[in-house]
Amino acid sequence: MIFPVLLCGGSGTRLWPLSRKSYPKQFAEVVGDESLFQASARRFAGIGFAEPLVVTGDPFRFIVTEQLDEIGVKPSGILIEPEGRNTAPAAAAAALFAMAQDPSAMILLVPSDHAISQPELFREAVLAGKTAAEAGQIVTFGIAPSRAETGYGWLETGAEEHGVLKLERFVEKPDAKTAEELFADKRYLWNAGVFLARASVLVEAFRTYAPEILDGVAAAMQAAQSDLGFTRIDPELWAKVEDESIDFAVMEKAPNLSAVRFDGHWTDLGGWESVWLESDRDENGNAVSDHAIAFDCEHTLLRAESSDQELVGIGLKNVVAVAMRDAVMVADLSEAQNVKKAVKVLKDRGAKQATSFPVDHRPWGWFETLILADRFQVKRIHVHPGAALSLQSHHHRSEHWIVVQGTAKVTVDEDVKLLTENQSVYIPLGAVHRMENPGKVPMVLIEVQTGSYLGEDDIIRYEDVYARS
């Protein structure tokens, strides 16, 4: 069996404002009606593949479990990185974890933010590399290029042996002229960043070429703690591990590398131009979402991400426009990669839109701020069936809750009662309180906060089923 390792701790900004640090692109519905992470998990749920191991960050742990539950996939484990340290430490941690479960385990390291339109063909490519991996090779997967791409790394391949190609070298992202030369030479493939190997072989490669990383990760994993089904890597020891990519730390140095050519369609959705290419387009090359309209436009991407807004493009050519409730991005398609520069400027200005999503996901559900003023805030709160917020109090604010859907079980100090639609309750400042959803349908309420300070850090938790401090 092959154990897929889904790497989903990144916080990419090239698809801002849809992708942000608090809710990165792998969890968003960028193309299709499921997230990239869900598509990745489903891609390797076939015959020959075990339940996936997920490596993610603490803010995303409950998003991971919720999205896997939605598609009926049960993980073999979820490793929580205290902070992102690039792909080399994440890969080493996954290999050590897999070896602890099964010394002969074979793992497939997979980024969870790629789009593959023919998953069955990619599974076949992975299985084609299994024999070489069993023999001690580290197998990577090269994508047959469709253009002279400067945004990807490339692989130089050599002769074929036993169904796989010899990997001669990794090629960094090329300039335009070099990309044209690589594209014209059939030996060169795009680097998908996917690796198949026995966990023990990968660990030995780290021991040979990146021993400091392996030792640091091993120490952090040894001190890891189990928490609600997650494995929390020790934060202090993890912080000492070098921040490095697996390509640079190991793969560019190891001699036992092979490659499998994949001739199907693949993209890493690294920017809005890629999203435009992957979207359904009309006869004029326009990709238009629901609640968006294009008049006399050509080669344009229009996305309205909220049903409460309408986006209209008139006379546009080669433009991407993405409208969300709290932010709008408009760019020439060819310049859309520079959105990262715009996000940096927003960060420097202190704009919360740079990193925070308008909807804040929590283990019990989600909330969004509808109005935020000097001394009051109005939120819509969605609580999943059977879920409960922490037992808590506040120093600086009181709250008023109005149930608009479902049933809420409400605790205010010693008083516990059920509220149904159109009923409300007042939470005085300092009162110990909790809301729960005892029903089998989502519960939605409107919360009105008033007080001198309305920040999310004004929470004293006394009891929490999700073990948050």
**Residues 221 and 336 grouped into a single domain:** no
The CA angle 43-44-49, to the nearest 5 degrees, is 160
pLDDT at 45: 85
The tokens 């991005």 sit on which residue? 329
Burial 121-146 (b: 16+ CB within 10 A, else e): ebbebbbbbbebbeeebbbbbbbebe
User: Helix, strand or coil for residue 458?
Assistant: coil
Contact 6, 41 (CB under 8 A): yes
Contact 355, 427 (CB under 8 A): no
Let me know if residue 176 belongs to a domain: yes
Name the nearest CA neighbour of 194 among 247, 232, 157: 247
CATH of the domain at 69: 3.90.550.10
Q: How far apart are CA 99 and CA 53, in angstroms?
A: 12
User: Helix, strand or coil for residue 312?
Assistant: strand
pLDDT digits (tens, 9 = 90+) for 199-251: 999 999 999 999 999 999 999 999 999 887 899 999 999 999 999 999 999 99
Let me know if residue 116 belongs to a domain: yes
**Residues 20 and 101 grouped into a single domain:** yes
358 confidence band (pLDDT: 50, 70, 90): confident
The tokens 């238009």 sit on which residue? 288
Let me know if residue 468 belongs to a domain: no
pLDDT digits (tens, 9 = 90+) for 103-152: 999 999 999 989 998 899 999 999 999 999 999 999 999 999 999 998 89
Rg for the chain, CA atoms, rounded: 24
- Residue type for position 164: V
468 confidence band (pLDDT: 50, 70, 90): low
Let me know if residue 354 belongs to a domain: no
Check residue 237 and give left, alpha or beta (phi > 0: left; psi -120 to 50: alpha): alpha
pLDDT at 360: 87
Burial 419-455 (b: 16+ CB within 10 A, else e): beeebebebeeebbbbbbbebeeebbbebbbebeebe
**Residues 340 and 400 grouped into a single domain:** no
Helical (H) or strand (E) element with 257: strand 257-262
Q: Which of 267, 298, 321 is where one domain is finished?
A: 267
**Residues 76 and 117 grouped into a single domain:** yes
- Residue type for position 84: G
Name the nearest CA neighbour of 467 among 227, 231, 236, 230: 227
**Residues 76 and 202 grouped into a single domain:** yes
Residues 28-43: what's their mean pLDDT? 92
**Residues 233 and 288 grouped into a single domain:** no
Q: How far apart are CA 164 and CA 309, in angstroms?
A: 51
**Residues 256 and 276 grouped into a single domain:** no
Contact 324, 308 (CB under 8 A): no
Let me know if residue 391 belongs to a domain: yes
Let me know if residue 139 belongs to a domain: yes
**Residues 242 and 109 grouped into a single domain:** yes
For the chain, the domain total comes to 3
Instruction: Give the residue numbers spanning the domain of 62.
Output: 2-267
Q: Which of 232, 267, 302 is where one domain is finished?
A: 267
Contact 436, 409 (CB under 8 A): yes
Residues 185-192: what's their mean pLDDT? 95
Q: How far apart are CA 409 and CA 404, in angstroms?
A: 14
CATH of the domain at 385: 2.60.120.10
293 φ, ψ to 5°? -135, 140
**Residues 27 and 160 grouped into a single domain:** yes
- Cβ–Cβ contacts within 10 Å for residue 148, how many? 15
